[in-house]
């Protein structure tokens, strides 16, 4: 069977990709942020995953407000990076793990999830940025295949935190029942705290961010119990993206080891960072 080797939660701020494209990685404003990911990149290089399941939200690029699925699953053989207005990025296309993706689709429906099935779709910074933060920028090809899972965190009503946790449980069981021998890592992306509009535009809650990074591994139940309104109040309207980290955490065992954490603020108009988790029995 396939093996889940780890879970990683990370920000997916679009300006991160722009900074990398413009050669700003080692400038004073960006170097502390990027350096915090070096240990995670080393862990991934040693662990050698075969497939990355990436849970993220589209930002009005592949979907727009006239048609926003609550949950969508990519089952394509290849995903092209979408142009978000800065021009095509100099990164390779993402190769899809189509066979595993179809297995996930079947298992989701069996467990009463009803994802929109995407046989052809492009992916924006919600997937591009986490992949580059974790795996670096390859010259020819990414070292893993991907399964993209799109979650609506843009247009209300968005899913509840508990529903994303349940999605994680489905992913865990689906990976365990897959007959292949692939090593799988799950990336839950989004956040941390930020709000881009309204009277709280520019809002960042650094203490809540630091608590989240410290507690999502050992004490996730507190975040499962929060309402959607709690997320918005605590982390900002766009900070509610953090519910996607719960899908990653829900796929892990009850007891996990926090391998490493990183936090930096502000990155653009957000708190940003990551956490890397392993199952204690791994």
So which residues are the catalytic ones? 125, 194
Write the CA distances from 264 to 30, 218, 281, integer angstroms: 10, 21, 30
**In contact, 181 and 2? CB cutoff 8 Å:** yes
Which tokens belong to 266?
């502000």
Cα(99)–Cα(76) distance, integer angstroms: 9
Dihedral of CA 214/219/220/225: which sign? negative
Q: Where are the alpha helices (DSSP H) in 22-160?
A: 31-35, 38-47, 98-110, 125-135
Q: Where are the alpha helices (DSSP H) in the chain?
A: 14-21, 31-35, 38-47, 98-110, 125-135, 161-177, 206-215, 221-224, 228-235, 243-251
Sort 146 into a burial class: Cβ within 10 Å, 0-12 / 13-18 / 19+.
buried
């Amino acid at each position: 069977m396939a093996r889940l080797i780890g879970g990683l939660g990370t920000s997916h701020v679009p300006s991160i990709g722009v900074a990398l494209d413009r050669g700003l990685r080692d400038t004073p404003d960006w170097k502390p942020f990027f350096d915090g990911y070096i240990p995670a990149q080393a862990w991934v290089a040693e662990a050698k995953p075969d497939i990355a399941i990436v849970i993220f939200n589209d930002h009005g690029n592949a979907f727009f407000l006239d048609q926003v699925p609550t949950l969508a699953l990519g089952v394509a053989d290849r995903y092209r990076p979408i142009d978000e207005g800065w021009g095509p990025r100099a990164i390779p296309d993402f190769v899809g793990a189509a066979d595993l993706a179809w297995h996930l689709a079947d298992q989701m429906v069996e467990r009463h999830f009803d994802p929109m099935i995407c046989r052809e779709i492009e992916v924006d910074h919600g997937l591009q940025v986490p992949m580059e933060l974790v795996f670096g920028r390859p010259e020819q090809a990414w070292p893993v295949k991907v399964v993209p899972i799109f979650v609506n965190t843009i247009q209300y009503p968005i899913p509840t935190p508990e529903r994303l946790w349940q999605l994680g449980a489905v992913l865990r069981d689906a990976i365990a029942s897959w007959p292949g021998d692939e090593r799988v890592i799950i990336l839950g992306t989004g956040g941390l705290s930020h709000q881009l509009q309204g009277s709280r535009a520019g809002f960042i809650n650094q203490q809540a961010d630091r608590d989240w990074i410290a507690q999502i591994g050992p004490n996730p139940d507190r975040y499962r119990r929060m309402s959607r309104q709690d997320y918005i109040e605590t982390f900002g309207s766009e900070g509610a993206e953090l519910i996607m980290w719960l899908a990653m955490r829900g796929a892990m065992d009850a007891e996990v080891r926090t391998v490493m954490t990183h936090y930096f603020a502000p990155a653009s108009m957000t708190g940003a960072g990551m956490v890397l988790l392993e199952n204690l029995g791994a």
